[in-house]
């Protein structure tokens, strides 16, 4: 090819490059339809967030209580996961993420009515709605389980189960709707990618109030309240640390 031909070829390539860039559509710009890569990542993120409660928080808490209360403390995390899962699928998801009310959602998804295998999440546009529901369910689970640490060795198991059902219904679900479900805080511009409002402030205040109401543990100041095994608490801390990849990355 002559020098003139090479010059013309380079000129054509320079002119074509901007057109190619304008015509390219990056994958993150898609607005609808289930994306395989997004779905795969959210499956991983959901599993990691669930791992933060089982066994993460369960090990973290039971390692810091007395030996006689290890199984009871661990059982609280497992029972909270089971109870909240059922309540979330019956009415929790619908009240938190459907409807356009400023304070609470509606029963459009009671018993997951209307969700099919190919239903696309209205919030995360590229994943199935059933996956979005389960991912948000793991957040409700860990928030209730976080409160369990404030009542460890102070509350009967039956009382904790009743508290969990009432608290997730009348506190967690409305606040989740306010912030993540299109409620008045979301409308006002509040952004919460890491659960700082819905999970951490929410569970922190609930735990503080519960601890103040219940008072000191029996035997405080007179009995040996040394933790059973702090190595278990360290393992639980590590699992919680790893879980932040799914917690934050999945939310974003």
Tell me the pTM: 0.83
Supply the pLDDT for residue 152.
Answer: 87
The two structure tokens encoding residue 204:
């922190």
CA distance 129 to 138: 14
The pLDDT score that the predictor gives to residue 122 is 87
CATH architecture of 35-216+224-251: Orthogonal Bundle (1.10)
**Residue 180 to residue 202: CA distance in whole angstroms:** 14
Q: Cβ of 127: how many Cβ atoms within 10 Å?
A: 22
Q: Where are the domains of the chain?
A: 35-216+224-251
178, 184 in Cβ contact below 8 A? yes
Task: Tell me if residue 215 falls in helix, strand or coil.
Answer: coil
Q: Which residues contact residue 167 at a Cβ distance below 8 angstroms, ignoring those fewer than 6 apart? A: 144, 147, 206
| pLDDT at site 18 | 44
Q: Given this model, what pLDDT does residue 90 score?
A: 96
Distance CA 75, CA 55 (A): 11
What's the residue count for the chain?
A: 252
- H or E element in which residue 148 lies: helix 129-148
Per-residue model confidence as pLDDT tens for the chain (252 residues): 555 454 554 554 444 444 433 344 444 444 558 999 999 999 999 999 999 999 999 999 999 998 888 999 999 999 999 999 999 999 999 999 998 889 999 988 999 998 988 899 888 889 999 999 999 999 999 999 999 989 988 889 999 999 999 999 999 999 999 999 989 999 999 988 878 899 999 999 999 999 999 988 777 777 777 888 899 999 999 999 999 888 888 888
DSSP 43-90: HHHHHHHHHIIIIIIHHHHHTTS-GGGHHHHHHHHHHHHHHHHHHIII
Instruction: Show the tokens assigned to 13.
Output: 């390539």
């Amino acid at each position: 090819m002559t020098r003139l031909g090479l010059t013309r070829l380079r000129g054509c390539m320079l002119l074509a490059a901007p057109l190619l860039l304008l015509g390219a559509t990056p994958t993150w710009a898609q607005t609808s339809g289930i994306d395989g890569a997004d779905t795969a990542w959210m499956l991983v993120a959901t599993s990691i967030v669930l791992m933060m409660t089982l066994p993460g928080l369960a090990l973290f808490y039971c390692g810091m209580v007395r030996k006689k209360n290890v199984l009871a403390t661990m059982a609280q995390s497992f029972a909270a996961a089971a109870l909240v899962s059922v309540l979330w699928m019956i009415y929790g998801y619908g009240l938190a993420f459907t409807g356009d009310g400023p304070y609470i959602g509606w029963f459009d998804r009671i018993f997951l009515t209307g969700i099919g295998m190919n239903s696309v999440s209205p919030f995360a546009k590229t994943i199935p709605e059933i996956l979005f529901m389960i991912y948000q369910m793991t957040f409700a689970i860990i928030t209730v389980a976080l409160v369990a640490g404030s009542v460890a060795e102070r509350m009967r198991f039956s009382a904790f189960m009743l508290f969990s059902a009432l608290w997730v219904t009348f506190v967690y679900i409305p606040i989740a709707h306010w912030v993540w479900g299109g409620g008045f805080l979301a409308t006002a511009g509040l952004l919460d990618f890491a659960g700082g409002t819905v999970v951490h402030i929410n569970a922190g205040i609930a735990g503080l109030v519960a601890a103040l109401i219940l008072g000191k543990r029996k035997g405080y100041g007179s009995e040996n309240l040394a933790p059973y095994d702090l190595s278990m608490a360290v393992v639980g801390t590590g699992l919680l640390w790893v879980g932040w990849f799914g917690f934050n990355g999945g939310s974003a």
